[in-house]
Amino acid sequence: MSISIAIMAAGLGTRMKSTLPKVLHEISGFEMLYHIIKESQKISDDIHVILYHQADLVQEKMNRYFSGIHYVIQDHQNFPGTGGAIRGVVPKYEKLLVLNGDMPLLEAENMQNFTHLEADVVMSAFTCKEPFGYGRVIMDSHQNVLKIIEEKDASVEEKKVTAVNAGVYLFKSDFLKENLPKLSNENSQKEYYITDLIALANAQNKMVKALFVDENTFMGVNSKYHLSIAEELMQERIKRRFMEQGVSMRLPSTIYIEADVQMSGECKLENGVSLLKGTVLENAHIKAHSVVQKSVIKNSDIGPMARIRPDSLIEDTHIGNFVEVKKSTLKGVKAGHLSYLGDASIDEGTNIGCGTITCNYDGKAKYQTIIGKNVFVGSDSQLVAPVTIADDVLIASGTTVTKNIPKGALAINRAPLKIMEGFFYKFFGKNHA
């Protein structure tokens, strides 16, 4: 069955206490709204996103990922509230699934479950220990939903109800068209509530059904604290899926993986590892407390405490502790300790000694360092870019390379070592301890 989807994302998000619109706060590297649109697209080709506050900014961000989404600007002045939000939506299909933009954990199959129930209105509910902030679901003795009452409008008795409105609804489009104009804003917030449609449907003897759903999956993010809980749940989900596919993780609760990371083959992640957006691993061992961002790593081991910055390609390579790599290609390389390799291309069999630095920036522009095969770069060398080092080169420890080095050469620029015997005692005196 084809359905239309409306995602309400026009609210101020006051409780986030932030200048950023609520739905642009990120979970696992992506905006909350991104997650819900991405899942919606799996089941619908008619998606409406309702915006108001900083609509341009939200739209601009989403345009980077998605096309074919209908953006609807809510008439917030005249019709504030969730009931006002969907007034402007014209669904293409007979049924409209309404989602809150602040539900980053919802997945396509959770959405699909609504379509299995036949009714004029399907609403969603769960029971929770801390219902504060949620609309309470008032039911009769047969578990029929009578109405939803918002926290701010609830009586002391009603507040004790632990069945809450999860905030996702499936409406017959005709029912909405007929009843949205009937909503009133006579409540404590002077807003139009989508939740009032339940009582309206009952008054017209329309069929209302409740779908009981998982509290965690349907959690709404209203504050930074909620955001942190949603992040933990999302991380648990992401990591569990990878482990089920055969990725090993040491102390997974300390590992952070963003939502689009890909791993294949035999991958191993140690504690404290962060894999950020755009990272692709194949048979990689990432050791403790390393950070990898937007890079491809194959058949290699990295860290501990290494940082791989965007646009690096690392294959058949060993990267040790305190090595930073940026926008570089390393194939069959060893860089065991304390180095900065930026804007570099380094070929097979090359060894980068401890403390090697590619000096890639002169304060104005960035330059390339090209290193060939089987090069031995001695410890504490500086390679001043742009510079090319051919195959089979030996660079002596402590050398500052400022010219291209031809194949097979030794590069050395060392000040001669002076030894002045007895200088210590002359300088400090004979009895210096």
Which residues does the annotation mark as catalytic? 337
Q: Does 100 bind ligand UD1 (CB under 6 A)?
A: yes
Q: Does 81 bind ligand UD1 (CB under 6 A)?
A: yes
Q: Does 47 bind ligand UD1 (CB under 6 A)?
A: no
Q: Does 39 bind Ca ion (CB under 5 A)?
A: no
Q: Interaction with Ca ion in 101-160: which residues (CB under 5 A)?
A: 102
- Single residue of 31, 39, 46, 102 touching ligand UD1 by CB under 6 A: 102
Q: Does 220 bind ligand UD1 (CB under 6 A)?
A: yes
Q: Interaction with ligand UD1 in 113-142: which residues (CB under 6 A)?
A: 134-135
Which phi and psi angles does 376 have, rounded to 5°? Answer: -110, 110
Which phi and psi angles does 96 have, rounded to 5°? Answer: -120, 120
Asked if residues 279 and 298 have their Cβ atoms less than 8 Å apart, the reply is no
Residue 1 burial (CB < 10 Å; 0-12/13-18/19+)? exposed
Q: Does 220 bind Ca ion (CB under 5 A)?
A: yes
User: Which single residue is written with the structure tokens 């074919």?
Assistant: 68
Distance CA 353, CA 45 (A): 55
Tell me the two tokens of residue 18: 């932030």
Binding region for Ca ion (CB under 5 A) out of 83-91, 97-105, 313-321, 404-412: 97-105
Distance CA 200, CA 195 (A): 9
Residue 137 CB, nearest approach to ligand UD1 (Å): 9
Q: Does 148 bind ligand UD1 (CB under 6 A)?
A: yes
- Single residue of 3, 6, 9, 27 touching ligand UD1 by CB under 6 A: 9
Asked if residues 108 and 38 have their Cβ atoms less than 8 Å apart, the reply is no
Q: CB-based contacts of 173: which residues, under 8 Å, 6+ apart?
A: 4, 91, 93, 94, 95, 96
Q: Per-residue string for binding with ligand UD1, 154-193, x by CB under 6 A?
A: ----------xxxx-------------------------x
Distance CA 353, CA 323 (A): 11
Q: Does 191 bind Ca ion (CB under 5 A)?
A: no
Q: Does 32 bind ligand UD1 (CB under 6 A)?
A: no
Distance CA 287, CA 303 (A): 5
Residues near Ca ion (CB under 5 A) are: 102, 220, 222
Residues near ligand UD1 (CB under 6 A) are: 8-11, 50, 74, 76, 80-82, 84-85, 100-102, 134-135, 148, 150, 164-167, 193-195, 220, 222
